[in-house]
């Protein structure tokens, strides 16, 4: 498979995530859009790293670390969203404007 195909895939994921992050008002859907954007960046970075140095496993290790960090980030993010929903019954971004300090 060529580098261009993976870069197009990464750009597509990033674009769909950007559209989702900018158009959705639900906090959960906003987080999903952000995750798609990060996944697009990871796919493009991994493909580029493989294209530059195919024999080194550094890029693969970095991708695994980034995906593990994303899983932790999503778990913490969903925990915060759940806590805010239970405390204030807020599930939309415009309803959460009063949470700014």
Condensed to tens digits (0 to 9), the pLDDT of residues 57-80 reads: 877 888 899 899 999 988 998 898
Instruction: Return the CATH number at 81.
Output: 1.10.287.3510
Query: Can you give the residue range of the structural domain that contains 22?
Result: 3-91
81 lies in some domain: yes
96 lies in some domain: no
Whether residue 5 contacts residue 14, with contact meaning beta carbons closer than 8 Å, is answered with no
- Global pTM reads 0.81
100 lies in some domain: no
86 lies in some domain: yes
98 lies in some domain: no
- What pLDDT shows up at residue 99? 64
* Domain count of the fold of the chain: 1
Q: What is the pLDDT of residues 15-72, one digit of tens each?
A: 999 999 999 888 888 889 999 999 999 999 999 988 888 888 877 888 899 899 999 9
99 lies in some domain: no
Residue 92, beta-bridge partner list:
26
């Amino acid at each position: 498979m060529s580098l261009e195909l993976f870069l197009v895939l990464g750009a597509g994921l990033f674009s769909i995530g950007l559209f989702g992050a900018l158009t959705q008002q639900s906090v959960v859907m906003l987080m999903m859009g952000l995750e798609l954007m990060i996944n697009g960046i990871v796919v493009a970075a991994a493909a580029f790293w493989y294209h530059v140095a195919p024999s080194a496993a550094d890029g693969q290790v970095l991708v695994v670390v980034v995906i593990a960090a994303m899983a932790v980030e999503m778990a913490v993010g969903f925990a915060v969203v759940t806590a805010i929903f239970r405390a204030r019954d807020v599930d939309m971004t415009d309803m959460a404007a009063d949470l700014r300090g």
